[in-house]
């Protein structure tokens, strides 16, 4: 097979399915034996974690970037304590290995310890930065399936929460990290998603700083997947790539020039993502304006070029990502988006009472 000559067909084939088919064919032909890792053999079914209740113990871990100032650790500890929870601070929050919060092995081990610890009812990641993708191969997904619980974060944590959902079927949460602002709006959406768990509607706060725009009109349903655009793009073609078919993709970004966003969206398009999803929601694209506007498309022009008049609904300006007031989006939960009224409505439970 000449991949270069058949790229449009090749990129639409899911990598895992392709490998499995190739392995079966090669084995039957006696030509090749593919060793599929044990973790690849897990067949995920949806698993809903238990809801948080007052008094529960929340583990705080840093699976990605270094926590340079322990003020942030003290801050989130007080916030969660004031909300009625107990807190266990992982050692990773105090480790510094260049830009990482400890070695890959130590960060992965701490995360797995928190999954295995039955006294911990939820895991909150401290910050993004970079590092989650480096530990994905080191996680024991069978243990995660055996010990399902809430795990939440955003930005670089995108790879972790999407990979866990893809490998285990466990509902995970794209929401605030320990570093984040935890104002009333954010707390309300954490409560809706992690404590109540009943279907709810996400609407931007009044006076929101975001410009809401309909790029393509309509409503659509699908399971929520997504997060940071750079991280989502980096997952294409890996063993942890999300399943796009009939799902709702949500994306956010920070500190990227419009041409870089254009390049990433082009990659998703060429890979076939936009031929498979049912809808797209664009969140905060913080500090993504061009340094030289006279030499660049604006961010809105880039979005218009990619999403105007596509065959699925798209709206821009939803309150999630690198912004103070943020939704908590349950990854893997069925939802409906309305691109004309700028809403995301979950249709199933995100946690079990």
Q: Does 170 fall in a domain?
A: yes
Residue after which a domain boundary falls, among 196, 217, 250:
196
Q: Does 19 fall in a domain?
A: no
CATH number, domain at 258? 3.50.30.60
Length of the chain in terms of residues written:
353
Answer yes or no: do 180 and 220 share one domain: no
Answer yes or no: do 254 and 268 share one domain: yes
Answer yes or no: do 155 and 234 share one domain: no
Q: Does 253 fall in a domain?
A: yes
Q: Does 10 fall in a domain?
A: no
Interatomic CA distance for residues 119 and 193, integer angstroms:
21
- 210: containing domain: 201-289+298-346
Distances in Å between the alpha carbon of 200 and those of 102, 179, 285, 346? 38, 25, 24, 6
pLDDT above 80 for 19: no
pLDDT above 80 for 39: no
Interatomic CA distance for residues 182 and 70, integer angstroms:
17
Angle between helices 258-271 and 299-307 (to 10 degrees): 10
To the query of whether residue 180 is one of the catalytic residues in this protein, the response is: no
Answer yes or no: do 265 and 340 share one domain: yes
Answer yes or no: do 185 and 210 share one domain: no
Interatomic CA distance for residues 271 and 114, integer angstroms:
35
Residue written as token pair 């990773």: 92
Dump pLDDT digits (tens) for 297-317: 999 999 999 999 899 999 999
pTM of the predicted structure, to 2 decimals: 0.89
Q: What is the pLDDT of residue 102?
A: 98
User: CA 333 from chain center: how many Å?
Assistant: 12
Answer yes or no: do 316 and 186 share one domain: no
Which residues are paired to 124 by β-bridges? 60, 152
pLDDT above 90 for 330: yes
Answer yes or no: do 68 and 191 share one domain: yes
Answer yes or no: do 159 and 231 share one domain: no
Residues with Cβ within 8 Å of 348's Cβ and at least 6 positions away in sequence, in order, are: 199, 333, 334
Q: Does 151 fall in a domain?
A: yes
To the query of whether residue 301 is one of the catalytic residues in this protein, the response is: no
Q: Does 179 fall in a domain?
A: yes
Give ∠ CA 25-237-215 in degrees, rounded to 5: 130
Q: Does 262 fall in a domain?
A: yes
Residue after which a domain boundary falls, among 196, 225, 242:
196
Dump pLDDT digits (tens) for 153-182: 999 999 999 999 999 999 999 999 999 999
Active-site residue identified among 189, 210, 306, 322: 322
Interatomic CA distance for residues 329 and 144, integer angstroms:
20
Sheet with strand 120-125: strands edge to edge: 86-89, 57-61, 120-125, 150-153, 172-174, 329-331
Look at the chain and report how many structural domains it folds into. Answer: 2
Residue written as token pair 């930065």: 129
Q: Does 35 fall in a domain?
A: no
Answer yes or no: do 210 and 172 share one domain: no
pLDDT band, very low/low/confident/very high, at 20 (cuts 50, 70, 90)? very low
Active-site residue identified among 155, 159, 180, 284: 155
Distances in Å between the alpha carbon of 264 and those of 51, 128, 255, 314? 36, 19, 14, 17
Answer yes or no: do 148 and 216 share one domain: no
pLDDT band, very low/low/confident/very high, at 16 (cuts 50, 70, 90)? very low
Residue after which a domain boundary falls, among 196, 213, 242:
196
Q: Which of 314, 315, 270, 265 is nearest to 288 (CA)?
A: 265
Q: What is the pLDDT of residue 11?
A: 43
| Beta pairing, strands 120-125 & 57-61 | parallel
Better-predicted residue by pLDDT, 225 or 25: 225
Which residues are paired to 252 by β-bridges? 228
Dump pLDDT digits (tens) for 222-242: 999 999 999 999 999 999 999
Dump pLDDT digits (tens) for 93-152: 999 999 999 999 999 999 999 999 999 999 999 999 999 999 999 999 999 999 999 999
CATH number, domain at 97? 3.40.50.10740
Mean pLDDT of the chain: 90
Residue written as token pair 């890979």: 271
To the query of whether residue 306 is one of the catalytic residues in this protein, the response is: no
120's enclosing H/E stretch is strand 120-125
Mean local confidence (pLDDT), 6-21: 42
Answer yes or no: do 110 and 143 share one domain: yes
Please provide the DSSP assignment of 191-217 as one string: IIIIII-S--EE-PPTT-SSPPEEEE-
Active-site residue identified among 252, 256, 257, 336: 252
pLDDT above 50 for 280: yes
Answer yes or no: do 123 and 228 share one domain: no
């Amino acid at each position: 097979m000449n991949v270069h000559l058949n790229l449009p067909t090749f990129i639409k084939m899911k990598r895992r399915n392709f490998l499995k088919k190739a392995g079966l064919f090669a084995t039957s032909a006696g030509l090749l034996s593919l060793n599929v890792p044990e973790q690849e053999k897990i067949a995920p079914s949806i698993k809903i974690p238990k809801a948080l209740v007052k008094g529960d113990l929340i583990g705080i871990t840093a699976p990605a970037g270094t926590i340079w100032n322990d003020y942030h650790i003290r801050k989130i500890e007080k916030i969660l304590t004031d909300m009625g929870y107990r807190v266990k601070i992982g050692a990773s929050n105090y480790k510094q290995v260049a830009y990482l919060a400890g070695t890959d092995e130590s960060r992965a081990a701490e995360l797995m310890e928190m999954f295995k610890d039955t006294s911990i009812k939820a895991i909150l990641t401290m910050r993004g930065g970079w590092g989650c993708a480096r530990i994905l191969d080191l996680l024991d997904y069978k243990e995660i399936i055996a010990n399902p619980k809430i795990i939440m974060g955003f930005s670089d944590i995108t790879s972790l929460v999407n990979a866990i959902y893809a490998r285990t079927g466990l509902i995970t949460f794209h929401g605030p990290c320990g570093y984040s602002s935890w104002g009333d709006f954010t707390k309300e959406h954490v409560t809706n998603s992690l404590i109540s768990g009943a279907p709810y509607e996400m609407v931007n706060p009044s006076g929101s700083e975001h410009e809401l725009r309909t790029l393509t009109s309509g409503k659509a349903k699908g399971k929520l997947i997504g997060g940071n655009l750079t991280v989502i793009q980096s997952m294409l073609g890996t063993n942890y790539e999300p399943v796009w078919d009939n799902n709702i993709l949500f994306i956010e970004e920070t500190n990227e020039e419009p041409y870089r966003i254009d390049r990433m969206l082009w990659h998703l398009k060429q890979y076939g993502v936009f031929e498979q999803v049912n809808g797209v929601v664009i969140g905060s694209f913080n500090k993504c304006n061009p340094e030289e506007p006279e030499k660049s498309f604006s961010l809105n022009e880039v979005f218009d070029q990619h999403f105007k008049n596509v065959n699925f609904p798209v709206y821009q300006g939803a309150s999630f990502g690198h912004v103070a007031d943020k939704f908590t989006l349950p990854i893997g939960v069925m939802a409906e988006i309305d691109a004309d009224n700028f809403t995301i409505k979950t249709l199933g439970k995100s946690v079990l009472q």
